[in-house]
């Protein structure tokens, strides 16, 4: 691949094209001047288009975890009852952030590889009337499973009227997430995922409901105090010095994304994912996720018995220059993952599948 020496098939950072990378070498500008005001306003508007939101959206110089933390510390107070729906490592992280800031967290956990059964959300909310907010991962990167956020949101918002905070780090910009239509109150994402930019910027949409919750929220915050972001955005500035080079890169990436069109991007991700799922199954491998909840941005593949994850990943990298991801936590020795968010060419799909085939045969 021309833009990236290694065929980087991890779930972020995703490959960045030369034209986007080139933007990173631009001269610095005054982040409190007119030129940056135009840039931040235009980047924010285009992010909102892709997020499908007309409500607030703020850009943080942070990674996705920073946006998740921002969602929590700007809406909740210590002692608040929170439901954390988790289907893997990133759902656990969201729950953990809330716990560290003093929320009283009830966890609804699914088996690794499965998505959340919406009926279970109804039943936990029925049994816990004091719950104020629900945290949920849209696309669980550690297992390659996508939650049915539309159904979960309907329950959380329409049936129970709770605040809905969504980790959309590996979904927004790649697979459909209708922030306003589905009434998601805060949705976090990060530049190194489907946005095709390098890591370091995080995004957070923030609804009117979230602002209402903010008015009584007492969790401590400073760098991530969204009231500062809102106040400064009125004059086209962020409160703190932003990563300008990443703004330049993101500006270009958003141009490319909007030129392609959101529905075309979603379709492209669905087709690419299907090619990977078909391809690995043709090699005789089994997928961790069930077909109905398999992610269109990450594919988790079960390692055949006797194959060590580390050896397999090393051979694919050193002998085929294809970088795959291992499993996380208890899945570390059981699966490998293929990241396919952002740009993936047919040639890279073929190259990845041959690297997998070759590495498995070599280890047999
Ligand atoms: N949530 C999900 C679903 C993710 O995929 C990631 C990154 N892999 C994160 C949260 C954390 O994002 P970051 O590493 O950018 O902090």
User: Using CA atoms, how far apart are residues 352 and 8, in angstroms rounded to an integer?
Assistant: 9
pLDDT tens by residue, 278-287: 999 999 999 9
Nearest atom within ligand 1 for CA of residue 192: 15
Pocket of ligand 1, candidates 11, 141, 193, 198: which has the most ligand atoms within 8 Å of its Cβ, to mutate? 141
User: Using CA atoms, how far apart are residues 257 and 196, in angstroms rounded to an integer?
Assistant: 9
pLDDT tens by residue, 316-328: 999 999 999 999 9
pLDDT of residue 2: 47
Nearest atom within ligand 1 for CA of residue 171: 3
- Give, using CA atoms, the residue closest to atom 12 of ligand 1: 64
Nearest atom within ligand 1 for CA of residue 68: 10
Nearest atom within ligand 1 for CA of residue 141: 5
User: Using CA atoms, how far apart are residues 148 and 115, in angstroms rounded to an integer?
Assistant: 8
CA neighbor of 75 nearest in space, from 230, 208, 218: 218
User: Using CA atoms, how far apart are residues 356 and 323, in angstroms rounded to an integer?
Assistant: 10
- In the CATH hierarchy, which top-level class contains the domain 262-363? alpha beta
Q: Are 158 and 329 in contact (CB under 8 A)?
A: no
- Residue 9, beta-bridge partner list: 324
User: Using CA atoms, how far apart are residues 236 and 226, in angstroms rounded to an integer?
Assistant: 14
What radius of gyration, in Å, describes the C-alpha atoms of the chain? 20
pLDDT of residue 5: 75
CA neighbor of 146 nearest in space, from 285, 298, 308: 298
- In the CATH hierarchy, which top-level class contains the domain 18-258? alpha beta
pLDDT of residue 3: 44
Look up residue 185 and give its DSSP letter.
S
Mean pLDDT of residues grouped by 10 in the chain (364 residues)?
73 96 98 98 98 98 98 98 98 98 98 98 98 98 98 98 98 98 98 97 98 98 98 98 98 98 98 98 98 98 96 98 96 96 97 98 94
Please state the domain extents for the chain.
18-258, 262-363
- Give, using CA atoms, the residue closest to atom 6 of ligand 1: 169
Ligand 1: distance of its center to the CA of 170 in Å?
7
Pocket of ligand 1 (CB under 6 A): 11-12, 63-65, 90, 137, 139, 141, 167, 169-170, 190
- Give, using CA atoms, the residue closest to atom 2 of ligand 1: 169
pLDDT of residue 1: 41
Nearest atom within ligand 1 for CA of residue 199: 15
Pocket of ligand 1, candidates 86, 97, 137, 170: which has the most ligand atoms within 8 Å of its Cβ, to mutate? 170
Ligand 1: distance of its center to the CA of 229 in Å?
22
Q: Are 112 and 330 in contact (CB under 8 A)?
A: yes
Please provide the DSSP assignment of 247-297 as one string: HHHHHHHHHHHHHH-HHHHHHHHHHHHHHHHHHHHHTT-EESS-GGGB-SS
Q: Which helix (H) or strand (E) holds 307?
A: none
Domains 18-258 and 262-363 share a fold: no
């Amino acid at each position: 691949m021309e833009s990236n020496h290694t065929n980087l098939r991890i779930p972020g950072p995703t490959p960045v094209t030369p034209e986007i990378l080139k933007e990173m070498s631009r001269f610095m500008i005054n982040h409190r001047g007119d030129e940056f005001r135009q840039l931040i306003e235009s980047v924010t508007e285009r992010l909102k288009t892709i997020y499908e939101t007309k409500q607030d959206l703020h850009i943080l110089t942070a990674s996705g975890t920073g946006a998740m933390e921002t969602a929590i510390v700007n809406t909740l107070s210590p002692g608040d009852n929170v439901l954390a729906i988790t289907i893997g490592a990133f759902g656990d992280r969201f729950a953990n952030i809330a716990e560290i800031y003093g929320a009283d967290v009830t966890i609804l956990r699914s088996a690794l590889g499965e998505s959340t059964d919406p009926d279970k959300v109804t039943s936990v909310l029925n049994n816990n009337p004091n719950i104020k907010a629900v945290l949920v991962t849209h696309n669980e990167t550690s297992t390659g499973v996508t939650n049915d956020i539309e159904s979960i949101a309907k329950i959380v918002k329409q049936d129970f009227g709770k605040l809905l905070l969504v980790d959309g780090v590996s979904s927004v910009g790649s697979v459909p997430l209708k922030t306003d239509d589905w009434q998601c109150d805060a949705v976090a994402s990060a530049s190194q995922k489907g946005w095709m930019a390098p890591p370091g910027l995080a995004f957070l949409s923030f609804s009117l409901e979230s602002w209402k919750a903010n008015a009584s929220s007492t969790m401590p915050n400073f760098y991530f105090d969204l009231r500062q972001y809102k106040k400064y955005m009125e004059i086209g500035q962020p409160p703190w010095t932003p990563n300008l080079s990443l703004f330049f890169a993101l500006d270009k990436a958003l141009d490319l994304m909007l030129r392609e069109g959101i529905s075309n991007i979603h379709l492209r991700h669905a087709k690419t994912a299907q090619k990977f799922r078909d391809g690995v199954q043709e090699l005789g491998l089994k997928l961790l996720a069930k077909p109905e909840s398999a992610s269109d941005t990450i594919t988790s593949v079960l390692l055949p018995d006797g194959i060590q994850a580390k050896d397999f990943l090393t051979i694919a990298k050193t002998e085929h220059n294809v970088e795959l991801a291992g499993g996380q936590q208890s899945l570390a020795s059981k699966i490998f993952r293929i990241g396919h968010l952002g740009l993936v060419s047919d040639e890279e799909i073929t190259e990845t599948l041959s690297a997998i085939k070759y590495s498995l045969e070599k280890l047999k």
